[in-house]
Structure 1
């Protein structure tokens, strides 16, 4: 890992913009059924980069976390895929801090194959003491300032109101937590939760396609996924994952997802992808009309 402070301007797709670049090998287990790096795998890559930076910047290693000297919880994460990521070759993850608030801060990410940017991302971490957010300690704030990146954080969309009402989502999937989903905080890990939302979209696609053997078509996987973590997801429990269609464009579809513990919303997500793909016989398949009945209510 190399680190240099930078104030360069430009697009977030330039490797020189990022103060930290981390080499990251792709693994076979990172591949999804389309034989490309999955969106949930990229969420894990961003977690790996975050943990490495925090260990080097302010000593937030596993021991410090277990002893509760550093208390950081992930509030949100976003992944946007620009070009296909394959298992062959090596990648670099660019990471820097794009915003420092009172009790939270934002990372910006980019994944590079050579000098080509193939994915970008963002996450928000919150410093917690007791039962809620607390002001960032001066030591942490100072360490974060050394890895600032000249990237404007994305605007946070308003996901309140109708998104918090379980019955506004037409499609339902029940999810049972597994012990292997837990992390060291003893709640379901953020990467696992991102995978839940992707599973919910795949279940919807299978439903409208008639449950094809081997799962839905490759081209229907979303190119972007944004997750908001509203509360801890515990073990053991069974949760309701709800999905609805927000918008159907000429080529793309935008989804909303909600995770519910009873009627209480504990997580939200948005995803965007294509609503058409090559079928198993090589002919085009378009599921826009089949998705129309699943539009969000409210």
Structure 2
């Protein structure tokens, strides 16, 4: 439904847990949560803006995701479980809007995220039309709303340079990764970061083919998109471990084509076990 009884909770959309949302453990993965957040954003009704487009008074344009955060906070499953995504507007700028989102199962908070998007044409970002701003104003979340205020982060210059990273995972873009904007979709890029963390973890613990696969993917991502990743193309995912505590590892990642950094991510996931020289039994 698109008109919540409590406006402070944002627009509520029901989403079913699908097979593709599940991780190796049979529960929803962080990538699955990201899909639910995207699904909810796509289903928002912006009536004034849609009428403006229908009348041919705005466009052509592309919707570009410039940054997002997604966190898996509690296990969700199995297939068919209904989750409710609450979506509201945290901030409206001159050319961008930031959505705040929460994922609920009943009264339990199981996921959260935010996403900043811009409208752009071939010349760059476009000023948001008044009609769109009016639609977004109706979805504004209060300061203490369900999604919380997104933490402001400033990109450190060293994150853009290869010398900052200590581990590299090569990847090649696939035609199935390309979306209607003619670049690799942000969900596909998130799975690339998953791949790099998994490769690093397996290398760290010395797991061999056919052995038991540990719990690998991060449960939290904060991602910034700096340039377009296209098809065809050979890329590298860079990784360095920022810190390790009792139960988790904090990673800094980047996607590179040659010396050019096209995006960065901060991830938190399970702490890799120590490497063992003992052959698996």
Q: TM-score range by the shorter chain?
A: 0.7 to 0.9
Q: Does 1:29 align with 2:25?
A: no
CA distance in 1, matches of 2:195, 2:234: 15
Partner of 2:250: 254
Deviation string, structure 1 residues 83-111 (Cα, Å, up to 9, x no partner):
11112421111111111111111111111
CA distance in 1, matches of 2:212, 2:67: 28
Q: 1:76 aligns with which of 42, 67, 71?
A: 67
1:243 and 1:112, CA in 2 relative to 1: closer, same or farther beyond 3 A? Answer: same
Conservation of the 8 A alpha-carbon contact between 1:57 and 1:144: no
Conservation of the 8 A alpha-carbon contact between 1:5 and 1:147: no
CA distance in 2, matches of 1:82, 1:124: 21
Q: Does 1:46 align with 2:37?
A: yes
1:145 and 1:272, CA in 2 relative to 1: closer, same or farther beyond 3 A? Answer: same
Q: Does 1:183 align with 2:179?
A: yes
Partner of 1:157: 153
Conservation of the 8 A alpha-carbon contact between 1:107 and 1:122: yes
Deviation string, structure 1 residues 15-67 (Cα, Å, up to 9, x no partner):
xx32211010001121111211111121111111111115657329x999xx9
Conservation of the 8 A alpha-carbon contact between 2:14 and 2:84: yes
Deviation at 1:148, TM superposition (A): 1.1
Conservation of the 8 A alpha-carbon contact between 1:22 and 1:94: yes
Conservation of the 8 A alpha-carbon contact between 1:43 and 1:77: no
Q: 1:263 aligns with which of 259, 262, 277?
A: 259
1:5 and 1:268, CA in 2 relative to 1: closer, same or farther beyond 3 A? Answer: farther
Q: 2:214 aligns with which of 193, 202, 217?
A: 217
Deviation at 1:6, TM superposition (A): 5.6
1:275 and 1:189, CA in 2 relative to 1: closer, same or farther beyond 3 A? Answer: same
TM-score in terms of structure 1 length:
0.82
CA distance in 1, matches of 2:86, 2:46: 16
Runs of 4+ in 1 over 6 A off after TM superposition: none
Partner of 2:162: 166
CA distance in 2, matches of 1:262, 1:216: 31
CA distance in 2, matches of 1:121, 1:173: 26
1:165 and 1:215, CA in 2 relative to 1: closer, same or farther beyond 3 A? Answer: farther
Q: Does 1:239 align with 2:235?
A: yes
CA distance in 2, matches of 1:239, 1:268: 13
Deviation at 1:2, TM superposition (A): 2.6
For residues 3-18 of structure 1, the aligned pairs below 5 Å read 3-4=3-4, 17-18=8-9
Q: What is the root-mean-square deviation of aligned Cα atoms in Å?
A: 2.4
CA distance in 2, matches of 1:69, 1:23: 31
Deviation at 1:68, TM superposition (A): 4.7
Aligned residues: 267
